[in-house]
Structure 1
Amino acid sequence: MPHRYKVREIAQQSGLSEATVDRVLNERPGVRENTRSEVMQAIADLDKQRAQLRLNGRRYLIDVVMQTPQRFSDAFRAAVEAELPAFAPAMVRARFHVWESGSTAQMVDQLARVRGSHGVVLKAQDDPEVAEAVDRLVDAGVPVVTYATDVPVSARCAYVGIDNHGAGVTAAYLVDQWLGDDPSDVLITLSRNVFRGEGEREVGFRAGLRGSGRTIVEVSGSDGIDATNERLVLDALDRHPGVAAVYSVGGGNTATVAAFEKIGRVCRVFIAHDLDADNRRLLRDGRISVVLHNDLRADARLAIRSILQEHGALPHEPVRAAPIHVVTPYNLPA
């Protein structure tokens, strides 16, 4: 069986004989499983060493392009900057282009102005014009990784983030278990309907509560900005007196909590996303119930790795959905 390394190299790396390595590579009988594992580990080690040689002295410039509330972009920027040194001996730098509210045209224009980049990490609207802008970048040799919300019909090389539909179903399960026999209705808040990830969370949430008899009241269009979100939530609470639970898909949670407190209504369960500074404080203070969270540093590492893989600087590894952690005030990570 042809292989990317000579039998002699693998034998030296594994400490096994060339004959044993040859038997493993050609899948001959009579090889113990632990011996096979030693050969596979040696090949993996050789892959890592080859990657280190390819990375040595290389310089990469990554662009992070995101429309998102500042609290989330600040958290993701910190995660990216913390992970950049992990790619040594290569030198990886990042540029950040982030804003809170804007049009599809603004996103397309920003993508068109990316210059001298080795790759883009993108959180953007799922829109045909955005997909075309991504395709133009890829055609120009700039790989694009979508983050947190996908643009699946584009030529992006990978999506990094949680299973958004699964997150919505998880939120529905928690809300229903928490409320029990209480017939409370549920408020779901989205930043804007153009983000595919938020839509997938909403679909999962509605599916998870189907048959529960609860009314789901939707608020969207705030871009996750507190001042706008509070006004929209106050209006929804005024029109729907049965709402006593919240699933926050798009953020603005300080404003949502404030809206409940302003009219003196108790929120029995509040499910939020992401451990940004606001949500940490709200969780510690007992003003929200749980946060569905994933490790932003792991996300940043995987997104950058996916870009370097496209340049042949690292061996390809499959991209899997990030696991969802249910965080309470009692297991809040540092």
Structure 2
Amino acid sequence: MAHRFKVREIAQQSGLSEATVDRVLNKRPGVRETTRAEVMQAIADLEKQRAQLRLNGRRYLIDVVMQTPQRFSDAFRAAVEAELPVFAPAMLRARFHLWETGSTAQMVDALGRLRGSHGVILKAQDDPAVAEAIDRLVDSGVPVVTYATDVPASARCSYVGIDNHGAGVTAAYLMGQWLGDAPSDVLITLSRNVFRGEGEREVGFRSALRNSGRQIVEVSDSDGIDATNERLVLEALEANPSVEAVYSVGGGNAATVAAFDRLGRRCRVFIAHDLDADNRRLLRDGRISVVLHNDLRADARLAMRLILQEHRALPPEPVRPAPIQVVTPFNLPL
């Protein structure tokens, strides 16, 4: 068994003899499973303690770079700031570079201007120029974690977030259950097609509804900004009178609700993503049906942990997609 500790250290930690520890480590017969478990727990405890020593007094500066609607960046910023103290005795600080709408060139420029960073949490377009900017950061010793939407062709160390394709399939399943035999077509709203995560949600949703006979009407390029989204949704609803359901991939949900209201149209089912302030209010008021959500604080904690792992300040742990929470007005978390 590979390990980084002397037999004497493990014996002291576990309270077992060195001979017993040696038998466990070398997988010799005649050792009880409970004894093996004690040795493994001792090694895990030593790993944690070593990590604490590595973290003691260290300072890390994390940059959060995101093009996203303000309601989402506000929620994620609060999550990051709440999780910073978790990494004590290390001292983590965060800088935030946030904007709602912009070009790929703006994103590349923002990444190129980072100085003194120990790691980047990034929500960006899946574009070759962005991938190259990420590669330059990684080559300079700055690890990058993509968040919510991936840039897989880059040298980023990991992606943090939900399985977006699975989220789209989940939305389609719920849509089918709630609509039942109602002949409604479905409006799908995206903030912008350049975000891979939104595209994966859309593909999952469309594939799961392919044989339903329902037409899917797409609205995109609003950047999730309410004024733009309301105008685009109004145009789509006027052109498609059979739309009575919405899958919101990219936000702007208050504007979508307002568009239905302006036309006096009924929305039978409204499925959204993320528990930002707008969606909490809309869900509580019964204006949207359900929110597909993931714990932003858990996401922020994992993203920062992955950056520290790249600096060998913490032991590696496996990364799994964040679980999708199906939130209704009756299980809305505080």
| TM-score class, shorter | over 0.9
Alignment-derived partner of residue 13 in structure 2 = 13
Residue pairs, 1:51-66, within 5 angstroms: 51-66=51-66
How is 1:291-306 mapped onto 2 (pairs within 5 angstroms)?
291-306=291-306
Equivalence for 1:121: 121
Residue type of the alignment partner of 2:262: K
Matching of residue 250 in structure 1 with residue 250 in structure 2: yes
Residue 94 of structure 1 aligns with which residue? 94
How far 1:15 moved relative to its partner? 1.9
- Between the aligned partners of 2:115 and 2:102, the Cα distance in structure 1 is 21
Q: What does residue 182 of structure 1 align with?
A: 182
Aligned to 1:311: 311
Tell me the equivalent position of 2:106. 106
1:283 is the counterpart of 2:283: yes
Structure 1 residue 326, shift from structure 2 partner: 0.1
Partner of 1:268: 268
Deviation of the 1:74 alpha carbon: 0.2
Following TM superposition, by how much is the alpha carbon of 1:23 offset from its aligned partner in structure 2, in angstroms? 1.8
Q: Which amino acid aligns with 2:255?
A: A
1:275/1:2 CA distance change after superposition, 3 Å = closer
Distance of 1:172 and 1:227 partners within structure 2: 27
Aligned to 1:28: 28
CA distance in 2, matches of 1:42, 1:171: 44
Task: Find the residue that maps to 1:125 and give its secondary structure.
Answer: coil
How far apart in 2 are the matches of 1:281 and 1:36? 52
The answer for the alignment partner of 1:46 in structure 2 is 46
| Partner of residue 4, structure 2 | 4
The Cα of 1:2 is off from its aligned counterpart by 4.9
Q: Which amino acid aligns with 2:183?
A: P
Residue segments in structure 1 that go unaligned for 5+ positions in a row: none
Compute the displacement of 1:250 (Å): 0.2
- Distance in 2 separating the partners of 1:86 and 1:41: 22
User: Aligned to 1:64, what secondary structure does the other structure show?
Assistant: strand
Q: Secondary structure at the match of 1:297?
A: helix
State the shift of 1:39 in Å: 1.5
Structure 1 SS opposite 2:266: coil
In the TM superposition, residue 210 of structure 1 has moved relative to its aligned partner by: 1.6
- Aligned-partner residue type, residue 270 of structure 1: F
Q: How does 1:120-139 map to 2 (within 5 A)?
A: 120-139=120-139
Amino acid in the other structure paired with 1:230 = E
What amino acid maps onto 2:18 in structure 1? Answer: E
Please give the per-residue CA displacement for 1:255-280, whole angstroms capped at 9, x wherever unaligned: 00111111111111100000000000
- C-alpha separation in 2, matches of 1:256 and 1:172: 19
Q: Deviations over 1:83-127 (max 9, x none)?
A: 000000000000000000000000000000000000000000000
- Deviation of 1:42 after TM superposition, in Å, equals 1.2
Structure 1 distance, partners of 2:117, 2:220, is 34
C-alpha distance after superposition, 1:219-259 (max 9, x if no partner): 00000000000000000011111111100000000000111
Runs of 4+ residues over 3 Å off in structure 1 = none
Offset at 1:16? 2.0
- Cross-structure match for 1:223: 223
Residues of 2 paired with 1:208 and 1:2: CA distance?
45
CA distance in 1, matches of 2:242, 2:24: 66
- Indicate whether 1:238 and 2:238 are aligned: yes
Secondary structure of 2:152's counterpart equals coil
What is the Cα deviation at residue 30 of structure 1?
A: 2.8
1:144 corresponds to = 144
Q: Distance in 1 between matches of 2:205 and 2:317?
A: 31
Q: Name 1:78's counterpart in structure 2.
A: 78
2:48 maps to amino acid:
K
The Cα of 1:217 is off from its aligned counterpart by: 0.6
SS across alignment from 2:238:
helix
Amino acid in structure 2 at the alignment position of 1:100: E
| Cα separation, 1, equivalents of 2:230 and 2:99 | 20
Paired residue total: 334
Secondary structure (helix, strand or coil) at the match of 1:101 reads: coil
Amino acid at match of 2:271: I
